[in-house]
Structure 1
Amino acid sequence: MRLTCPLCGERDRREFYYYGAEDYLRRPGEGAPLADWDDYLHLRDNPAGVTKDLWYHEAGCAQWLLVTRNTVTHEISGVELVAGRKE
């Protein structure tokens, strides 16, 4: 699979670190039951179809990217920066 980084251009996916699906910010709150933390840390959905995933360009520009892709066809339909580039 190849991703097109908005800053670096087309790259092999091995340059990137996959962080997770779009629910990556849904952490249990302070004081949440241990079962909620167990679910958050160990249970993952495995959706078939279009997803939005967070990727980190580890071997490139060190930017966080939001990648829209189809898990069935492996088609990448969008890659965007999560935050503005800092110089």
Structure 2
Amino acid sequence: MLIPHPLLGLRDAQEFTYLGDARLIDRPNGMAENAAEAFHDYVYLRDNPAGVHRELWFHEQGDRSWLIVTRDTTTHEILGAELARDVALTRRGALSEGGAQA
């Protein structure tokens, strides 16, 4: 399986480590009133979807970047990849513009 790295082009999936659902970059606020419950859900509850899914991959044997890879779990077709840093910064900016806390 080849992963289209946004900076390095097509890379073999063996260079990467799969880390799970891309929602892991949305870490709960440890200072929130319901922090214990939020962290329980964050650590232990996962979806296992069939179909298109966004996943977190680490380029361990390359530039050590974190990617969000969009993949169809039924066919293993890679539909795209983005730097996780860029996704997180975009979300943070959108939250700030909407008045919510990042």
TM-score (norm 2): 0.65
List runs of 5+ in structure 2 lacking aligned partners. 87-102
Q: 1:79 to 1:60 in 2, by over 3 A?
A: same
Give, in whole Å, the separation in 2 of the partners of 1:65 and 1:49: 19
CA-atom RMSD, angstroms? 2.2
Equivalent residues of 2:24, 2:42 under 8 A apart: no
CA offsets 1:35-84 (integer angstroms, 9 cap, x no match): 43222112211011111122221111122222111011110011222347
Is the partner of 1:24 in helix, strand or coil? Answer: helix
Q: Is the 8 A contact 2:70 2:81 kept in 1?
A: yes
TM-score by length of 1: 0.73
Q: Report percent identity of matched pairs.
A: 48
Q: What is the CA distance between 1:33 and its match in structure 2?
A: 5.0
Unaligned runs of 5+ in 1: none
Give the structure with the larger strand fraction. 1
Partner of 2:100: none
Q: What SS does the corresponding residue of 1:23 show, helix, strand or coil?
A: helix
Which stretches of structure 1, 4 residues or more, deviate above 4 A after TM superposition? none
Decide whether aligned partners of structure 1 residues 32 and 67 sit closer, same or farther in structure 2, where only a CA change above 3 A counts. same
**Larger fraction in helix:** 2
Number of corresponding residues: 84
Higher relative contact order (CA 8 A, sep 6+): 1
